A and B are shown apart, each in its own frame.
Chain A
Amino acid sequence: MILQVPFDLNTENAFVEGQLCFRDGTIYTDADSLPPVSLPLHTVDKLVQRGGIGCGTLEAERKDGTVVRVCRFSMACVEGIGEFAKAINYYLETGRESEIKPEDINICPKCGRRMFKGMSICFHCVDTRQIWGRFFRMMRRERVLLITSAVLMILYNGIQAIVPKINQWLLDSVLKAGTDVHPVIEFLGRTIAPGWTAAQALTFACLGMMLCYVLGQVILPFSVQAANLITLRSSHRLRQEVYDKIQRFSLPAFEKRTAGDLIKRVTDDTDRISTFMSDMGRACLEKSFMLVMVGAILFTTNWQLALCVVLPVPLSLIIQRRFWGYMHTFFEKAWQTERRETGLLRDILKGIRVVKTFGTEAREVGKFTSAAAAVRDQTRRIEIFWALINPITRFSVIVADVLVMYFGGRAVLAGTMTTGTLLLFILYSAYMYEPLRWMARLPRDVSRCTTSLIKLYEVLDEKQAMYESETPVAPALDGSISFDNVQFGYKSYEPVLKHISLEIQPGEMIGLVGHSGAGKSTMINLVMRLYDADLGAVRFNGVDAKQIDYAYLRENIGAVFQETFLFAGTVMENITYAKPTATAEEVIRAARLANAHEFVMKLPDGYNTVVGEDGHNLSGGERQRIAIARAILKDPKILILDEATSALDPETEGKIQEALERLVKNRTTIAIAHRLSTLRHADRLVVLDKGEIAECGTHRELLQRKGIYYGLVMAQRTMQQARSKKQEA
């Protein structure tokens, strides 16, 4: 076995570059500036990782009782060192070898940087070409609309671009006949209007201009509509894909990311991408078409003057670039101060009872006033900045105008150019700036969209962390469960459960007891196969849970938790959530058994009453009974009760207890309860302590052992006695 992970601190809190290695039966460190540590494995009892604040230390406890500091590391290396310690300790315990892969410790295999939380793509090394390749493939799905939209947009712009031409013709051929004109115009004049009078030609030109305008306005809505359709369709499609994928995530994949982050990816990121897609597809063609067409006209007409139009552009871009940083800063600050203001307001209103209780209204008003003043000052600063910056950014346009006017005017005076051509230049140079400005903005938009694309593809590419058998089996389950030397931890280097071995008979009720953090809920998560055991196996009817078809296993497990979440919908829909095909009769029977029927009948719309976020508010006990009805309706072989009655008053608890007793019959049940009296019907109690099974037996057996369980029972008894004494007093 060869292991190697980096560490990065010395004992003086300075960064170093070091490697912690295991090779040829020796644990050793290798860092150029540090004295090396070398520990033959046979002298080591175990490795202990000690966490500090922002750093940690790896220590080795040796067989002779001495303890040695192996290395120190910052947060960057925590996971790697943890995996190392785990692998070594596992090897010391069992003699089995393991290896550490870069993806286990969330380090980019390419640059060695730690990857962002919840991401499996390194932002630093990501191949943007590949990302954009995928984007363009995605874009192809909308190609018909994209082309339509682009063609319409080009048509619109083409028509708009005719207007300056008409102007030129008007000025040169109609209003001042006789001077030399542009050959195209002359040709147009000869073919369209041979022998027209100047007045007739003027009317014709004005009508032509009007027609251009009307045509443009007719085409524009269609083009915009097509673009909107692209945005809507692609965003719908993307959202559907992402949401579909998220629904199929395993629980660990969910836990890597926050709900807010996922919501953002489904809404904001897909939005940004599809907007960009429609904008890109259309604008890219349209703007470049405009640039090329207008550029061609200008340069063929008079290339010197065309240069005057184009030359100030780089200047404008440089100025924009230079000020962009400041602008960004200003806006960011404004946004921050506004956020602080609203945050403060939300805080105060939410905690208004606290404010009133402590009589601190004046202080809070003061705080808010200063936050509001900050917003005012920042906004004013932005206004002043805008007023200053606007003339500067427009400077290049003005420079171009002046240059064109000066050199063009001289040419007109010298008689080498017509007034109409000069007008043409002035009008067309305005057409040049819009595409150029768009191009200046492009890098920023591209960068933003890339970020969104990466986040999106990352979700779409998420490999399910859970092992899925290629040939899943669906054995007949009778409710027998066995834990075979199971070890599991949410974090690889912190096993929550260790050496768990337990045989549960069909129909048996097991009570899980222990301090909080002892691993009770984790054990239940393993039974429900929300996670897989790191080592050992959980078996149902002798079959490893990993081999059993995921959906099939879930069908056979029902659960009632401390808090029941009701979806927005009717009581009926919430009860049938587990079995959508259930008849009304079945539902009512289940509700009766769950002691829920009585209160449901008192609701205004009975089983059709809408509950959930915007619906009728049910109490904790009522929700709990709905959950029990769900479980009864599902009729599972295995039932899990996780603190099902802990949040309730004694009377309701009695009712629910009664309902649960009906539910538990003839099923394998695993129940967690802090209040030990609720577990009195359990066939066996399993006491967990620091992730291991400390005691196991019936209530009576455990009391006689006078161990942990005895201590817990006694503690609760004294507490109850104290409470009843208080009530008597």
Chain B
Amino acid sequence: MTQTRQDVHFCRNANGFLSAEIDGVSYDRVQLTRALPLTQPGAYIQIADMEGKELAIIEDLSALERAERALAEEELALRYFYPEVTKVHSMKEKLGSYYCKLQCGKVEKTIAIRDVSKNIKQLSGGRIMITDTEGNRFLIPDTKRIEKRSMRMIEPFLY
């Protein structure tokens, strides 16, 4: 697809879903995909039709007009889900799997982690990704900001 800047506008369609107008052509419903979801979530956003065919790429979401940007971010939030961990309450081993009690915002969640060395991974920028057996990925956004007690529970599984 072309890298030339395209004129992109977002609005809602009759059903309340995201709709786009690209270079004067309007598309009733589009989906957004991040090219670098982990390192640059706000940049290089692909706009595709519902079949997955790329229509355009937005280099930087902040270049959009405010209302439209809000629409795009809302759509992205619906498509991407990495719950953020605010606290680690406990980490217990049972039969080779770890049962980890986490605080995700207001909700307390107990997840099962198998093969901890593979499923607790340190990413760049002090982030930690925990994958549970159900396939959900939990993100600790910053190891420096999370309290020490929580870190101590996770620490043994990092390298």
- Chain A residues in the interface with B (C-beta under 8 A): 9, 11-15, 52-55, 57, 66-69, 72, 74-76, 78, 113-117, 123-124, 126, 128, 325, 328-329, 332-333, 336-337, 340, 447-448, 450-451, 454
A15 to B96 Cα, complex, angstroms? 27
Q: A15-B109, A447-B94 are in contact. List 11 more A-B contacts (CB 8 A).
A: A55-B80, A67-B15, A116-B97, A116-B114, A117-B133, A124-B112, A328-B156, A332-B157, A333-B156, A336-B117, A448-B96
Across-interface contacts of A332 in B (CB, < 8 A): 117, 156-157, 159
In-complex Cβ contact of A14 among B97, B107, B112 (8 A): B107
Q: How distant is B74 from chain A, measured CB to nearest CB, in Å? A: 8
Across-interface contacts of B156 in A (CB, < 8 A): 325, 328-329, 332-333
Residues A123 and B134 in contact in the complex (CB < 8 Å), given A52-B79, A67-B15, A68-B15: no
* Structural contact, A113 and B95, CB atoms closer than 8 A: no
Residues A54 and B157 in contact in the complex (CB < 8 Å), given A14-B106, A68-B15, A451-B95: no
A331 to B94 Cα, complex, angstroms? 19
Determine whether B83 belongs to the interface, using a CB cutoff of 8 Å to chain A: yes
* Structural contact, A9 and B81, CB atoms closer than 8 A: yes
Across-interface contacts of A451 in B (CB, < 8 A): 95-96
Which residue of chain B lies nearest to A113 when distances are taken between CB atoms in the complex? B112
* Structural contact, B159 and A74, CB atoms closer than 8 A: no
Residues A126 and B81 in contact in the complex (CB < 8 Å), given A53-B37, A114-B134: no
Across-interface contacts of B114 in A (CB, < 8 A): 116
* Structural contact, B80 and A53, CB atoms closer than 8 A: yes
Determine whether B105 belongs to the interface, using a CB cutoff of 8 Å to chain A: yes
* Structural contact, A123 and B97, CB atoms closer than 8 A: yes
Q: How distant is B66 from chain A, measured CB to nearest CB, in Å? A: 20
Determine whether B99 belongs to the interface, using a CB cutoff of 8 Å to chain A: yes
Which residue of chain B lies nearest to A114 when distances are taken between CB atoms in the complex? B134
* Structural contact, B134 and A75, CB atoms closer than 8 A: yes
* Structural contact, B97 and A53, CB atoms closer than 8 A: no
* Structural contact, A72 and B78, CB atoms closer than 8 A: yes
A52 to B37 Cα, complex, angstroms? 12
Question: B76-100: which residues lie under 8 A (CB-CB) from chain A?
Answer: 77-83, 93-97, 99
Which residue of chain B lies nearest to A12 when distances are taken between CB atoms in the complex? B77
A81 to B93 Cα, complex, angstroms? 30
Determine whether B63 belongs to the interface, using a CB cutoff of 8 Å to chain A: no
* Structural contact, A13 and B94, CB atoms closer than 8 A: no
A15 to B117 Cα, complex, angstroms? 26
Determine whether B11 belongs to the interface, using a CB cutoff of 8 Å to chain A: no
Across-interface contacts of A123 in B (CB, < 8 A): 94-97, 112
* Structural contact, A74 and B134, CB atoms closer than 8 A: yes
* Structural contact, A447 and B95, CB atoms closer than 8 A: yes
Residues A57 and B78 in contact in the complex (CB < 8 Å), given A75-B135, A447-B96: yes
Which residue of chain A lies nearest to B139 when distances are taken between CB atoms in the complex? A54
Determine whether B136 belongs to the interface, using a CB cutoff of 8 Å to chain A: yes
Which of A66, A113, A115, A336: most chain B Cβ within 10 A?
A113
Residues A14 and B105 in contact in the complex (CB < 8 Å), given A52-B79, A76-B135: yes
Which of B16, B82, B95, B136: most chain A Cβ within 10 A?
B95
Which residue of chain B lies nearest to A72 when distances are taken between CB atoms in the complex? B78
A329 to B104 Cα, complex, angstroms? 26
Which residue of chain A lies nearest to B135 when distances are taken between CB atoms in the complex? A75
A169 to B94 Cα, complex, angstroms? 50
Across-interface contacts of A114 in B (CB, < 8 A): 133-134
* Structural contact, B14 and A54, CB atoms closer than 8 A: no
* Structural contact, A124 and B135, CB atoms closer than 8 A: no
A378 to B47 Cα, complex, angstroms? 47
Q: How distant is A454 from chain B, measured CB to nearest CB, in Å? A: 7
Determine whether B137 belongs to the interface, using a CB cutoff of 8 Å to chain A: yes
* Structural contact, A15 and B157, CB atoms closer than 8 A: no
A52 to B82 Cα, complex, angstroms? 11
* Structural contact, B80 and A67, CB atoms closer than 8 A: no
Report B101-120 CB contacts with A as 1/0, cut-off 8 Å: 00011110100101001000
In-complex Cβ contact of A52 among B80, B104, B112 (8 A): B80
25 A-B contacts, Cβ less than 8 Å apart? A9-B81, A14-B104, A14-B106, A15-B83, A15-B109, A52-B78, A52-B79, A52-B81, A53-B37, A57-B78, A66-B14, A68-B15, A69-B16, A74-B81, A76-B136, A113-B134, A116-B97, A123-B112, A124-B99, A329-B156, A336-B117, A337-B159, A447-B94, A451-B95, A451-B96
* Structural contact, B79 and A53, CB atoms closer than 8 A: yes
In-complex Cβ contact of A15 among B17, B104, B135, B155 (8 A): B104
Across-interface contacts of B79 in A (CB, < 8 A): 52-53, 55
A15 to B155 Cα, complex, angstroms? 26
A12 to B109 Cα, complex, angstroms? 17
* Structural contact, A333 and B80, CB atoms closer than 8 A: no
Across-interface contacts of B157 in A (CB, < 8 A): 332
Across-interface contacts of B82 in A (CB, < 8 A): 54
Across-interface contacts of A340 in B (CB, < 8 A): 159
A192 to B79 Cα, complex, angstroms? 89
* Structural contact, B159 and A336, CB atoms closer than 8 A: yes
Which residue of chain A lies nearest to B96 when distances are taken between CB atoms in the complex? A451
A113 to B37 Cα, complex, angstroms? 28
